[in-house]
Structure 1
């Protein structure tokens, strides 16, 4: 047979217990070696046997690809009567949502000299600025674990100082958490300012009183249909004021909700 044969290994790494990076490497090594023992299993056959739930929006088994390549040398081949140079072709299509390619780099005498990292990404999911930020955080993480490999991974910070300041700005000053639930806070606000605008959707302006009435009616309906505290209610609605009223109604009935994508 003639062709380009690459078999994909689907890997899962257990991060439970907040291990150190050194311990995480041991776990990853164990998982990888176990997977390599079955590397001749065709990936298509694996998908056929597992038969995962299919979705047009994502790969069924993994969304991030990692490749590691050894250094092939930086010198172009020498051919009689020809001038040669190395050229990396530019790809216009991303095979997966996100791919990280690690290429080992060697010094002139052949000693290891680090890695080059290339990211390939689907442009309908990411833009260049986002992927650059991800690469910066990955580099920051790798630098940290190389310096302190025994630090628990939960204590490793991937954010730059300006990103951390931005998060603090978005979060605002810390305050004591309210004792009331979300639906109780809303009901209190509706009682205090019933005519104030609670929701704006396109040309609609919904007051707190209107939203409170809608959600109360639906909450009573849910309760009559058997929804009790601890129940889980599926909500299947497009984005609209009725969606917000439904969320509040479920909470007022004492239940939890899960949103279904229309």
Structure 2
């Protein structure tokens, strides 16, 4: 982020987008993210809940390097944040997407970035206090990635944690743990080689690669056959199958093979 003049959020977004593309989600990756909704200084002292939700689209087409993908994420995010005051309900109303009770209308993956909560309990005079973080047992979206930075005492970064929240109707814990492992490997790879195309980044573990080889079977070289050889092979395998139909006339592969050889 320092090298490219971007933010940690943009790095997280680009990494999640690259992972989803590598997982088969295509190249138009749509991710939702919350914003504070307090862009106006007049709201600084006003009590209230102004959080809004932005829809961020990331174009991963063309197999870009991570550095290039980060530039694309920056351009998208700056444009989105400039319009963060548009109510999310208004956005849904204007776009009028096909609605379904089984999924969110505009995105299914959420991304949040923040700082880890200080585990120290607040001091309230003579009262004994403790910090309790309630556990949420309901997933708001199909999949949520939460990046939490861990700052040092001097304010410098000390790493970060990644938390995944998921719908148990769609995923099991083993699948999500594998996804987080791949995300960790991807982040490690882009930190070391940010100019490598995302399609070449190593995201699979060794046992996953061996499993893919098992599913794929032995590798063989496809025979180099010309069109007439391919047709002759088809005619020999299924001579009585219909090859051509013209009005009421039907010609089998065997007949067509004879006619074409005569010609």
1:184–1:62 distance in 2 versus 1, CA, 3 Å: farther
- Alignment partner, residue 245 of structure 2: 200
1:181–1:79 distance in 2 versus 1, CA, 3 Å: farther
1:85–1:176 distance in 2 versus 1, CA, 3 Å: same
1:208–1:59 distance in 2 versus 1, CA, 3 Å: farther
Q: CA offsets per residue over residues 82-118 of structure 1, 9 Å max, x none? A: 3333222111110000001111111233321111111
Contact residue 137 and residue 159 of structure 1 kept, 8 A: yes
Are 2:224 and 1:173 aligned? no
Contact residue 8 and residue 43 of structure 1 kept, 8 A: yes
1:32–1:166 distance in 2 versus 1, CA, 3 Å: same
CA distance in 2, matches of 1:140, 1:202: 60
Deviation at 1:148, TM superposition (A): 1.3
CA distance in 2, matches of 1:217, 1:52: 59
1:179–1:66 distance in 2 versus 1, CA, 3 Å: same
1:123–1:199 distance in 2 versus 1, CA, 3 Å: farther
Deviation at 1:183, TM superposition (A): 18
Q: CA offsets per residue over residues 36-78 of structure 1, 9 Å max, x none? A: 0100000010000000122333222111000111345342212
- Which one has more relative contact order, counting CA pairs under 8 Å at least 6 apart? 2
Contact residue 66 and residue 195 of structure 2 kept, 8 A: yes
Contact residue 113 and residue 147 of structure 2 kept, 8 A: yes
Contact residue 73 and residue 106 of structure 1 kept, 8 A: no
Unaligned runs of 5+ in 2: 1-45
Contact residue 115 and residue 151 of structure 2 kept, 8 A: no
Aligned length: 218
Unaligned runs of 5+ in 1: 219-262
Deviation at 1:217, TM superposition (A): 30
CA distance in 2, matches of 1:88, 1:122: 20
